[in-house]
Structure 1
Amino acid sequence: MTSTPMAGTPVPPPVTARLAHREDPAPRFTDLLAAEWLTVRSLRSTPWLLALSALAALAVNINAVHSDLPYIDRPHPAVPGFPPYVYDPLFHGLNAIAADLMALATASFGALTVFGAYATGTIRGTFAAVPDRRAVILARVTVVTALTLVLGAVVSTASFFTTNAMLASRHVGLSLHDPGCLRAVLAYALVVPVCALIGMAFGAVLRHPTASLVGVVALLFLLPLLFGGDHYRFLKEIGNCLPLSALARLTHNPNSTAPLGGYPATVTGSWLALAAWALLSTVVTVTVVRRRDV
């Protein structure tokens, strides 16, 4: 038997209306940042990958200068057709090999933060809790960028000051105020988060560990081989826009006797190239994650 409410008795709202009224508010972006930070920390390989890559890069830079110390003071015979040899602390202290190592490690880390979520299925729970995919992936991009930027800054500044302190006894050390030094230190630090963002883009598009890493290696290390040389200007100018090529131009010592080769990139163009890679990678990551099914 169904009871009829007495006159004057308030009728409760429908269940759906009560649930909608009690629904929790949408999470703030700061909440998403905190959640993504916990997610990144939960990846067991993350601390080891980043810490070991930073230590290895720092060790490469220090060892490069330490190995040169016995030979700096020795006389260097003049070579016909070439300028007199002058030791370049910026070239050896911010070593290209160490930069390549950091670029590969952080790009792999960036890819892992994306394809790892799809491989484990945690991305489904994340999007179920927060349907706004763009906010979620932007929070992850922010966390990865901030973490790798700190890592790059630590390696860059530690390498510069440590190696130049070692060279002080040979009177060839540089100061941060010397021409090109501050620019080189900043570029050496900024290329690290740029490569991490490139890795995130590959992870979002390919969603496979091996394919993502192959794509990263091809872009960062194989393409520069195809667009090098000075024979064709348009190929060289394309190569100048690649991330590690732009880094090489920004870390070039203005007082160095080493030539830049034909059709060298400009400093402004190299900064714009790094910014464009960071922006393009972020746009690709956000767009792909928003539009593709999980």
Structure 2
Amino acid sequence: MPRSLWFFVFTAVVYYLQHIPGIDAVLMILLASMWPIIAINLGFAGIAIEATSGTISRAWLCLPLLYFGGNLVLAGISHYQLWQLERRVEAANTVQSLPFPSGGALVVDSTQPGIGGLPEGLIGRYDIPVVYQISDAPKGAFSWKITAGSLCQTRYPKNGAVFGYLENHKLIHGMCTYRREEAPPRDAVKLAASAPIAHESFFLPYEEQRITITDGRDRSIELIYAQARPLTWFPMPFGGCFRGPGDAKSACIFEPLRVFVTPAIGPIGNTTDLVASTLNLTPSRASTRRQRIEAEAIPAVLRPALPF
């Protein structure tokens, strides 16, 4: 018998212990649910090494071949379904277009997940001076813009907040992101997302949202945004028990760990670029617009906020 089978015995014992109150909490803190990834893979790899070295019969090679080869087949099916999902979403989004009006304003309703960072992404990477945001915070209407100069040195500006501006993961000296309490114009282009709809599947579980963009003349388009969790090419068996606050006992699972959440919106890999492409916004890093931003900084700060 292969000595590597002890890795599977160890995995089974740890998984059983996680069903016992008290011990389950300790093992949860020790991340015992992640141990099967190491133990089971070491077990099958050990069997392969023992079989090829002649320690055990070569017939045992069937187990690691089935394990690792079977995972490749399952991952291939999962990624093929991801490719199909990407093509469907891309085909639906490609035909959608709503050119952004010159001098217009964009309002992002970020009360749903998935588009929370959209205002910062648009003003930093596209030629749009300001984006408004509606959130579920007590003071729920804000304007976002990139600014430069003395305002960036102000720690607590009136009715606003200043954040360092990052571009290509680097902090740009003398420039900052300025968020201010400000109501958007009534005729602004409005963007809102639906609640995510979960599609459960062993091969490809994913969540899908509809992003609706409406202009001031009641024209609207609908985009699709999806996030999928395909199977990994390397097997990652995950098993453990978890107890939430107030739960009488732990809930136990044993399944493939899906580490990476993949946006499934075709070649455009994020909501910022998807929305910008649909609105025909011009790509332009804020640092390349610095001279114009500095010229507009003082009037923008002095301009009073619109009343609610």
TM-score interval for Structure 1 and Structure 2 normalised by the shorter chain: under 0.3
Structure with bigger helix share is 1
Structure with bigger strand share is 2
State the TM-score, normalized to the length of structure 2.
Answer: 0.22
State the TM-score, normalized to the length of structure 1.
Answer: 0.22
